[in-house]
Structure formats: structure tokens, C-alpha cells
A and B are shown apart, each in its own frame.
Chain A
Amino acid sequence: MGPKIYGRKAFALLAILLPTLVITACLNAEPKILGQQGKFDFSAFNGSGVQGQFLFNYALQSGTTVGVQGSTNSKSAIIGTCNLNGTSCMCQFLAADGTTVLGSTNSSQILYDESGNYFNCTVPGGVTIPTNGQIRVSNLDGSVVSTAMAISSSLTVGQLIGSDLDANHVRTVYRYQCEYNYLQKAGTSALSFDCSNQVTSCDPDNDSSKSFCMLKARFPFFLYSDSFSNNFASKIADKLYAGGGGTNTICGDEIKQVNCVESDTDSTDAFGTPVKQFGLYSQATGIWQQAVSLPSGPDQPSSSFGYAAAVSTTPGNVGNCPPGLIKRIFFTSTIVTSDITPSNNFPSGLIATEVADPTITPVPFHIGKLSGPGGVLGGSCDGAKCYLPQSTVVAGAKPDQNYTSTGQTAFCVIPGSML
């Protein structure tokens, strides 16, 4: 083309090339031909080049502390980067833009909890976490830095479980009760009951026409469900005493031995309705390593409901849960009935199990009693038939029996409010 660059040929060439450039530059407006091409996979890398390890699920503020939860397979990278105490790292509090550093922790303001795989970062003096403030974890020389995370004041279960686990495997645990009806009449044992007429009163008023009473006690049971399974079939509606010859009658009556649906005496008393309590993870992985076994219903042995996280054993953090989780412990009450007279079929030594906040002891175990009003009106037997006690006043059969958590180990679960 020579030096005459403004000539007719150059003009024509430019007119051809520029539309070509336009077409080439407009690829995004057309449907794509998709293929397996190179990509930057955010799940494989994070921060400044540490592959697949230095990852965190969320940051949760509680007062002046922000808990930063490591993801499932991040523990070795975190310890390798920050050491077992976390003091080779710092938490950097960031403005809402995710880059402006408002302040950083010193070695006394950061604590790494190995069992829970999380950091507790104390907000440095003079730093106020702004709306939409963020946080990141960095080693001291800044060569390994996590991505910035929003500092949350509450979590969803999806955030809590994190990107490497499936929230559909979170198991919601429910509690319900079954009311047991034990038969009380002189001459009764745990294995036998007859229709004989006894003159020994079972009522506190010593009226001998009230010789057949019912001891009533509610035992707690638990159910679980996740997106793939549940054990709700373990919850029976009720169970009748089995009489002789394969019948469901005993001394002429259909008598409920266990009732897991509703009260016989108060239809508004929904003790049999499962009520959501807390969440577990269905598989042993990451911090979810402590198996939790619970009884699911009458005649069912305790079985594994899933896995909780362990409470911390790290000095300075002993007994605490990972951020966002709450602490629970087993309380048990061994039910003594050998001192209840006259005799009855309530075995002594049964154990009631509750799961509760370690600081809140469950209400003591109560054994109630139905009796009277007497004779054929209810509360006695005549040798061939028994007349069920009809009183709606449930008196205590003996002093309530306390629950204790002595010897039990606390564990950490997902709050029910999150489920």
C-alpha cells in the first residue's frame, strides 16, 4: 500500500476489516457451542493459589467474636498454614467492598479449634464491623489468603453445611412421647394379671372398692427424616394388651398398653405429635463424627440417627461448639417402681432418655395414676371381668424422678430453628 495510507485502497480494506471485527466481537450474542473446555473452577482453587484446601464455609458473628468455619477437607491445609493454634494466621476484617482492611487480629485474638476446624476471631479494638462487612483468613506474610466471606449474623442450613456436603443429608430429629398404661392390682406382676376380685385398695383414699388402678407414664422417643429416608414407621399409633388365645382383650376389655397418638383423657394434649428438635448429618464426614443413638418407639432398640459434631477440647475453648451449632447432652432417668404398692406390671429399672441443653435439666419423670370411682363404675374386677378406672384426675403414684446427665458427653447439633 506504500506510504499513501489515506488512499482509496486503504479505505476499501478498512471497510472490509472493520465489519469482520464487529462480527468476531459479537460472539456472545449467539447461542453457544458448548464443550468441555478449560475453565477456572472455583471449587478447586481458593485464595492465592492453595489448591482445594484453604476453604471456609461461612463466617458467623456472635458478640465480639466471629467464627470462621473451615470446609470439610480443609483441616490439614489450615493447620499446615496456620499451625495448630492458628497463630500463624490472622483474621482480616474487611469493609463491604471485600478488599479494604479495617483491622486484623493479633496472635491473642485468633484461636483455631482443631476438632471443629474453625477459627474464633476476636474483633480488634477500634474495629466496627460495617453492614455487609466481610472477613478473610490469611497467613502472616500474606502469601496464603482465603477468599473474603460475608460476616453473617444468622445462617441457613445450606450455608452451615457448606459447599462440599449435601443439605439433603441433614436429618431433622423430632421428639414425641408414648403414654404407657400399667395395670395395678394386688397380685399383679410384670408378667401376669388376672381378673380376680381383690380388696386391696390401689387408691390413696384406701377405698377397697377401688382395687384396680392404672399407672400412666410417658416415655420420650425420637424420629428422624432427611430428603432420602425417615424412620417414622417406628412410631406406632398404639398397642393393646394381648389377652389369652391371641385376642386383644384382657379380662373382657380392649386396654391400650401404649398410646402414642393422643391422650385418653385430654384430646388437646398432643404428646404424641412429633416436634422438631435439632439436626444431625446422616453420614460420618468432616466435623460430623459423633454418632447419636436414640430410641425411636416402643419395643424398638436405640439406633443411630446420624452424626453430631464434638464439643471443643481446645484450651481456651473447651466445651464450645463450632459456630452456628448448639450444644446438647443426653439426660437419663432410671425409673424405679419397686416401691409402688399394691403390685403392678410396671417394670423397675426402665430408662427414659431425653436430649436437652446441658444447662436445662428436663422436667422430672412423672408416674400418674387413674383410679375409681369404684366397683362396676370403674376401678375393680369381679373375677370374670375388670372395669377400667374412670377417674380423670391423675394423681401421682410416687414422687417424680429426676433426670441426670452425669457421665454423658455433650455434642453439637444444628439448631431446630434452622431446619
Chain B
Amino acid sequence: MSPRYKLCLLALGLGTLAVTGCDVGQGVKKLGSTVVGGTDVSGTNADAFAVTLAYRDPSNDGTVTPAPIRLVSIQGVRGLNSANLVNECGATGTSCACDFFTSSSDTSPVTSTTVGISSQNNSYSCTIPGAVAPSNYKYVKLKNLNNATKNTGLINIKTVLVIEDVLGTNLTKTNVRGIFGYSCNRTFFEGEGVSAANISCVAGQHLGVISATYNFYTFKSGVDSNLPGSDAAFPADICKRNNFLKIQCTGNTPVLHYGFYLSSADPFVVGITMTRAPEGDNLTATYGFAALPDSSGNCPTGLMKIRPWVAQPASIIPTGPTCPANGCPSSFINSNNSLNNTVVEQNQPSNFIVTRQPNLIACDATTGDCTNAQFNGAVQAESVAYQSQTPVVCAIPPSLLSGLF
């Protein structure tokens, strides 16, 4: 073999190696705590498309209803202007799109149909199109539609996250507040001597009972917490009867619903006010900060949508055979919204129910003593639909909070 021929072979071999080794987009990236991607071959911004992970929630995979979650979220590097995905994808994300691949050798990717971007979180969301099960797609590539050489390369789509993935490197687990929900039952009355503030023991009073279950929240983090409410009695007997609890909370153990961040720090910037208990000190406080959704309404990577829902029951003025023709007065008076029930949850709760137990046997016809008064079975007085208030905000899902509290 001549030297010329040897040299040609060597150059050809090394050249092939160089092309093979210089992955500008198709190679599978190794994801970790550091960044990956950044394939702006034009060289004007080496940080463009530097991302830390891609994620899809698999919780509904294999089910028909609700539909499997087809949304893939890509987390860009936080805290670095030159790595802002908005630079490449625009404020609404429409200058970019995602290609989804079933394998690293897939040459026929499908392209996202809807996209969104969050500048605060520097994350990008895109939806796997078509009817194919989203779990078939293992990789995603975010690309600039105007310059296909600008892309993230193939990013493995994670289906499991840890809390560090959503907090990034600047936020600490210690400051994550778990939000726990529980309920208390509240008791009200109806009858001739009843008003919103007190009860007069009118002779022959047709005393009845009204009750409703209200929702409250507590929080707990690595540095602080608050406590749920406890049972409370009425300040005095109810016309000689002492077996009514004004508030009954015991037995309703708070359950972890989601998490907020204790202080305002990107992307957790929206303060959420919640109520601890029906009565007591420090009832209402800012429980923490949630994130805002991106330009298409999707939450930043790994976060879940929640929103406040309010049920506003009407004041109850019962009518019926046990009341005078015009109806009984009651203490269930909601003129100042104090009897609204507010929940902060992902989905619209089932209706808020207020029940009545109308009087069966009236109080003493002479003294108004209600010791022997009896009540009918509970009937529904109101079924109130919850109405959403502020738009969706984004919280840390409970699956990422295990072991933190």
C-alpha cells in the first residue's frame, strides 16, 4: 500500500469518525443535574436550547377516560438570560415546535400541534399529536422553526421526576410547604326565635338544625407549620340542650394535597391565601407561592394545575309545615360571605351541600325548653355549584413531596 493510499484511508476514516462524533442533533443526550442541548451551530449563542430535562406525566397512561396525558414539558436552564427559550421560540413559543421520536433511530418523528412557553420558568410545553399512545414516544427535540439547526437534540422524555427537578438549583426543599386539606362540620339553627347572632327560646319554638361541611387547609415545611382547627361548643346551651357542637373537626385528619414554595422566587410568584380553621387565631394567611401557567395555559415542568373554587350558598329562610306561613328565621345567613366555602383544588369539586333537619316535636309550649325537641331526618336544603375564581396557578404535586414533611 502506497503512502498516498494510506494517508487517504486515514483521512477518510478519521473524517468519518469526526462526522459520526459531532452530533448536532440526533444523538441522545445524557441528562442530569447539568445542562444538555444547545446546538446553535451558527455560534451566535452557544447556550440556546440548553435544557435540563423533558417530562411527561404518565398518570393516565393505559386509561381511556380521562385521555392519556400527551403534554410534554421541556425545562430550560434557569437564571441564565442567554439560555432563555423565549430568545429562540418567541413569547408565545410559536417560533419553535417539538418533534417526538419513538427511538433514537426513528427517522419519522411527529411534530407538536400546540405549544406554550413560560418565560418565568424558562420551560416549554408541547403536545404529542395524533392517536398513538404517548408512551410510545421516548424522545423529544425542541427546534427553531426558522432554523432547524437550532435545536436541543434528542432529549429522553422522563416520566418520573424528583422534587429537585422542579425546584432547580436555586430553591431549597426545606422551603417547600406541603398544603394539607381537611374539613369541619358546622351547625346552624332555624326556628321562630333564631337569628344570625343568637337564639331566643320562644315558647313552642320549632327548632331545627342546619349543617354543612367546610374545607380548610394547613401547611407544613421544613421550617414552619400551622395546626388544624379543633371542635368548638356553642357559648351556652341551646334552650337547655347541650348536645350540639358548633364546630366539629376531630376525626378529619389533614391530607397532603400539593405544595407551594414558602417565599416568592421564580417560578413561584403568586401568593395563595388560605384559611386554617373556622375559628381561632391566625385563621387566614399566605400559605406560599404558586407558579403561573405558560402562554398556552400549561404548568411549568412537573407542576400541577390548581385554582380557587368558591361555593356561595344563599341565606336560608326555611319554609314548610313546621314553620309559620312566611318561613322560619335561621342562623344560616350569608350576607357577608362568611358562609362561603373556598377550596383550592385541581378539579371542580362536587357541589357544596347544606342540609336541614326540620323540627319534628316542638320545644316546650310554655317555657321554650328544647330538651325534648326532636328533629326530622336530614334533607338537602342547598346544593351549590363551585365557581372558579382566578385563573389556573401551578403547584407542586404530592407525588414529589413524599418524605419532605
Range of interface residues on B (Cβ < 8 Å): 35 or more
Q: By the criterion CB–CB under 8 Å, are A37 and B314 in contact?
A: no
Q: Give the residue of A37, A39, A261, A388 whose beta carbon is less than 8 angstroms from that of B326.
A: A388
Is the CB–CB distance between B18 and A21 below 8 Å? yes
- Residue of chain A at shortest CB distance from B31: A31
Q: Main secondary structure on chain B at its contact with chain A?
A: loop
Known contacts A237-B314, A237-B315, A248-B333; is A226 also within 8 Å of B391 by CB? Answer: yes
What 0/1 pattern do residues 222 to 254 of A give for CB contact below 8 A with B?
000111111011011111100000011100111
> Would you call A378 an interface residue if the criterion is a C-beta within 8 Å of the partner chain's C-beta atoms?
yes
A269 to B77, CA, bound (A): 51
- CB under 8 Å from chain A, chain B span 354-405: 384-385, 387, 389-391, 393
Given A26-B23, A28-B39, A39-B82, A256 and B339 contact (CB-CB distance below 8 Å): no
A-B contact count (CB 8 A): 186
Least distance between A216 CB and chain B CB atoms (Å): 15
Taking CB atoms, residues of chain B closer than 8 Å to A37 are: 45-47, 82
User: Any chain A CB within 8 A of the CB of B53?
Assistant: no
Query: Which B residues are in CB contact (< 8 Å) with A150?
Result: 94
Contact B18 A22 (CB under 8 A): yes
State which of A14, A32, A34, A254 has its C-beta within 8 Å of the C-beta of B327: A254
In the assembled complex, the Cα of A26 lies from the Cα of B296 at a distance in Å of: 35
From A6, A26, A253, A387, B7 is in contact (CB under 8 Å) with A6
Of the candidates A14, A28, A227, A376, the one having the most CB atoms from chain B within 10 angstroms of its own CB is A28
CB < 8 Å: which of B41, B91, B312, B390 contacts A235? B312
Stretch at the interface among A154-162, A324-332, A333-341: A154-162
A259 an interface residue at 8 Å Cβ cutoff? Answer: yes
Q: Within the complex, which residue of B44, B77, B317 is in contact with A256, where a contact is CB–CB below 8 Å?
A: B317
Q: Which of B47, B325, B339 contacts A237 (CB 8 A)?
A: B339
Q: Is the CB of A34 within 8 A of B47?
A: yes
Asked whether B92 lies within 8 Å of A248 as measured between CB atoms, the reply is no
> A1-26: which have CB < 8 Å to B?
6-8, 10-11, 14-15, 18-19, 21-22, 25-26
Contact A240 B333, beta carbon cutoff 8 Å: yes
Cα-based distance from A228 to B153 in the complex (angstroms): 36
B292 engages A168 (CB within 8 Å) = yes
Given contacts A6-B3, A159-B94, A254-B327, contact A225 B336 (CB under 8 A): no
Let me know if A34 and B77 touch, CB within 8 A: yes
Count class of interface residues, chain A: 35 or more
A262 to B351, CA, bound (A): 15
B295, closest chain A residue (CB)? A158
- Which interface residue of B6, B32, B44, B314 has the most chain A CB atoms within 10 A? B314
User: Which A residues are CB-close (under 8 A) to B315?
Assistant: 237-238, 240, 254, 256
Tell whether, in the assembled complex, residue B327 and residue A253 are in contact, meaning their CB atoms are under 8 Å apart. Answer: yes
- Among residues of A, the one whose C-beta sits closest to the C-beta of B33 is A31
The answer to whether A26 and B87 touch across the interface, beta carbons within 8 angstroms, is no
Residue from A31, A229, A248 within 8 A of B195 (CB atoms):
A248
Please tell me if A41 contacts chain B, counting CB pairs below 8 Å.
yes
Besides A227-B390, A228-B270, 6 new A-B residue pairs in contact (Cβ under 8 A), listed by A number = A14-B7, A18-B11, A25-B18, A150-B94, A254-B333, A256-B315
User: Could you jot down 7 A-B contacts, CB within 8 Å?
Assistant: A22-B17, A29-B23, A42-B87, A163-B92, A237-B340, A256-B317, A259-B314
- Please give me the 9 A-B residue pairs with the lowest Cβ-Cβ distance, nearest first: A163-B91, A158-B295, A237-B334, A31-B34, A18-B14, A39-B45, A158-B92, A22-B18, A6-B3
